[in-house]
């Protein structure tokens, strides 16, 4: 069996790559690895999902797998991923399961797992779960299934969303009166939660793409398609727009003038706010290697240390926990504030971004202007073999030539996707033209090393 877990859980085309049988196997394996058993405690799991249609089918499989492994289950229904993580900690569950493919299109789905406390899994724990799944598929798959009263029971946690909303509202004391915001809910898990939180915090809210039907999640909307939230901000004269993805662990923004405000800029705004409040531990921000050089320069100018990790909010989380830091995130809009969340939380991010605007009386354009991004080009190259596409000698030579050409005034980053058959080519340069030319040359080298059709950028 190949690698089961990607950058963020198990992901694939629902009922093709990610079948109910596989979902059940993963649930059983997760229970066997993560759920502690003793005579006084029957294990407990929290299970949630986003509203895509296949989530109903996969939820049934996961719940059945957990119960068959002797785990009691609390179903929380449709809820953002960070809400499931929060309730996993709040209920003192042994594990949490979120069924979502995040920003991926509707036909995909995924399984995100949380350990006790709502924390994402370390690499070695994922490897243990993979080993159990592989073992169960072979001749050594026999294990002692519980019977009778030891079989898990299944209940619905009807007020789970209310607890999560109350938690979010308690994280920010600054009222949002006077802030007019458009929120794009991506027809996803934020559709009920985000408008309620922002309104109860005092903002005037215009919600768009907040009518999920199981098939329209992420469809030309949300954090990967900012066109309509931008149009709505300009049409309604809003102070800003916020865009979440399908499971609401991301937040990107649009300023009043229609300018995009990405995760790097949001991190900078919140880092400066937290340092001013004395809550930015070690005057340090944690980001990934994908963050723009402009963020690093802005933080250096402000006297804030920027620590870089591998791509993936799990690695940001690892560094935050290791160093006791209080803010980190990704350019894509995953921001983590460990004082309030164990994983990226898009609604929390939007709430605190608006709180900073309300507290300072400054526009988002002004606040985000602390970062001047270098022109950046990202090309997603479909490949047959992600490893070959990123490690071929000719590809590495092309990268070396590009870096020599940039001579320290930019950079090249080559990264196999953790969830799709792609190699991501990212180039930053002093001009957009230079970045595009360099990225095209490197992408062409990747294509030659492992051809698989046209770009998916």
Tokens of 114: 């949380």
In the chain, pLDDT over 90 holds for what percent of residues?
82
391 domain residue, yes or no: yes
195 domain residue, yes or no: yes
Write out the residue range of the structural domain in which residue 415 sits. Answer: 376-449
CA dihedral 233, 235, 239, 244 (to 10 degrees): -20
Number of other CB atoms surrounding residue 229 within 10 Å: 32
pLDDT digit string (tens) for 244-276? Answer: 999 999 999 999 999 999 999 999 999 999 999
Over residues 92-113, mean pLDDT = 97
429 domain residue, yes or no: yes
Residue 247 marked in a binding site = yes
Looking at the fold, whether 90 and 230 belong to one and the same domain comes out as no
Residue 8 marked in a binding site = no
Looking at the fold, whether 101 and 206 belong to one and the same domain comes out as no
Q: What is the pLDDT of residue 417?
A: 81
DSSP string covering 20-89: HHHHHHHHHHHHHHH---BTTB--EEEEEE-S-THHHHHHHHHHHHHHHTT-EEEEEEE--HHHHHHHHH
Q: Average pLDDT over the chain, rounded to whole?
A: 93
- Pick from 158, 178, 196: which residue ends a domain? 158
Residue 332 known to be catalytic: no
Residue 139 above 60 pLDDT? no
Ramachandran area for residue 303 (φ above 0: left; ψ -120 to 50: alpha; else beta): left
- The DSSP output letter for 430 is S
Give phi and psi for 187, each to the nearest 5.
50, 40
Looking at the fold, whether 65 and 207 belong to one and the same domain comes out as no
Residue 249 marked in a binding site = yes
Looking at the fold, whether 260 and 144 belong to one and the same domain comes out as no
Looking at the fold, whether 150 and 173 belong to one and the same domain comes out as no
Residue 454 above 50 pLDDT? no
pLDDT digit string (tens) for 175-210? Answer: 999 999 999 999 999 999 999 999 999 999 999 999
- The DSSP output letter for 400 is H
142 domain residue, yes or no: yes
CATH code of the domain containing 113: 3.40.120.10
Pairwise CA distance, residues 164 & 197, whole Å? 10
89-103, 141-155, 351-365: the lowest-pLDDT one: 141-155
Q: Write down the catalytic residue from 25, 100, 102, 417.
A: 102
- Pick from 103, 130, 158: which residue ends a domain? 158
Q: What is the pLDDT of residue 161?
A: 97
Q: What is the pLDDT of residue 141?
A: 58
Residue 363 marked in a binding site = no
Residue 164 above 60 pLDDT? yes
Question: How far, CA to CA in Å, does 69 sit from each of 9, 46, 194, 249, 318?
Answer: 20, 14, 35, 29, 29
- The DSSP output letter for 137 is T
pLDDT digit string (tens) for 120-130? Answer: 998 899 999 99
Ramachandran area for residue 392 (φ above 0: left; ψ -120 to 50: alpha; else beta): beta
Partnered with residue 308 across adjacent β-strands are 287
65-69, 141-145, 300-304: the lowest-pLDDT one: 141-145
Angle separating helix axes 123-136 and 20-34, nearest 10 degrees: 120
Looking at the fold, whether 260 and 396 belong to one and the same domain comes out as no
Q: Which of 242, 166, 239 is nearest to 197 (CA)?
A: 166
- Pick from 113, 128, 158: which residue ends a domain? 158
Looking at the fold, whether 278 and 340 belong to one and the same domain comes out as yes
Looking at the fold, whether 137 and 196 belong to one and the same domain comes out as no
Looking at the fold, whether 111 and 183 belong to one and the same domain comes out as no
Pairwise CA distance, residues 436 & 433, whole Å? 5
Q: What is the pLDDT of residue 36?
A: 74
Looking at the fold, whether 327 and 412 belong to one and the same domain comes out as no
Over residues 24-40, mean pLDDT = 87
Burial of 142 (0-12, 13-18, 19+ CB in 10 A): exposed
Q: What is the pLDDT of residue 457?
A: 44
pLDDT digit string (tens) for 385-435? Answer: 877 677 788 899 999 999 999 987 888 998 888 767 899 999 999 999 999
Distant-in-sequence, close-in-space partners of 34: CB < 8 Å, separation ≥ 6: 94, 95, 113, 115, 116, 125, 129
């Amino acid at each position: 069996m190949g690698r089961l877990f990607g950058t963020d859980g198990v992901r694939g085309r629902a009922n093709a790559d990610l079948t109910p049988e596989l979902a059940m196997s993963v649930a059983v394996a997760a229970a066997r690895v993560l759920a502690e058993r003793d005579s006084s405690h029957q294990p407990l799991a929290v299970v949630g999902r986003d509203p895509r249609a296949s989530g109903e089918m996969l939820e049934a499989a996961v719940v059945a797998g957990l119960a068959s492994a002797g785990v009691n289950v609390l179903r929380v229904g449709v809820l953002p991923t960070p809400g499931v993580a929060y309730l996993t900690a709040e209920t003192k569950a042994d594990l949490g399961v979120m069924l979502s493919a995040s920003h991926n299109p509707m036909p995909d789905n995924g399984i995100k797992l949380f350990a006790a406390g709502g924390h994402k899994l370390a690499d070695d724990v994922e490897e243990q779960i993979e080993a159990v799944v592989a073992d169960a598929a072979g001749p050594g798959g026999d294990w002692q299934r519980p019977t009778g009263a030891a079989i898990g029971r299944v209940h619905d946690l009807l007020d789970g969303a209310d607890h999560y909303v109350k938690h979010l509202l308690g994280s920010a004391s600054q009222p949002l009166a006077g802030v007019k915001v458009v929120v794009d809910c991506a027809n996803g898990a934020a559709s009920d939660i985000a408008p309620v939180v922002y309104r109860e915090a005092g903002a005037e809210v215009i919600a768009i793409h907040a009518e999920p039907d199981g098939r329209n999640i992420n469809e030309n909307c949300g954090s990967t398609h900012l066109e309509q939230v931008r149009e709505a901000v300009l049409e309604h004269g809003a102070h800003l727009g916020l865009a979440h993805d399908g499971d609401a662990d991301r937040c990107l923004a649009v300023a009043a003038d229609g300018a995009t405000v990405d995760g790097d800029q949001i991190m900078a705004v919140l880092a400066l706010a937290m340092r001013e409040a004395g809550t930015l531990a070690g005057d340090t921000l944690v980001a990934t290697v994908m963050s723009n050089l402009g963020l690093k320069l802005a933080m250096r100018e402000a006297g804030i240390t920027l620590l870089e990790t591998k791509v993936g909010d799990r690695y940001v989380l690892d560094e935050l926990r290791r160093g006791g830091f209080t803010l980190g995130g990704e350019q894509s809009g995953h921001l983590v504030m460990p004082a309030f969340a164990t994983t990226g939380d898009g609604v929390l991010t939007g709430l605190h971004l608006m709180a900073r605007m309300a507290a300072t009386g400054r526009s988002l354009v002004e606040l985000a202007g602390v970062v001047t991004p270098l022109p950046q080009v990202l090309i997603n190259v479909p490949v047959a073999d992600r490893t070959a596409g990123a490690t071929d000698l000719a590809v590495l030579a092309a990268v070396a030539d590009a870096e020599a050409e940039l001579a320290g005034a930019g950079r090249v980053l080559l990264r196999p996707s953790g969830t799709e058959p792609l190699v991501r080519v990212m180039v930053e340069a002093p001009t957009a033209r230079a970045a595009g030319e360099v990225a095209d040359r490197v992408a062409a080298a990747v294509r030659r090393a492992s051809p698989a059709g046209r770009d998916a950028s």
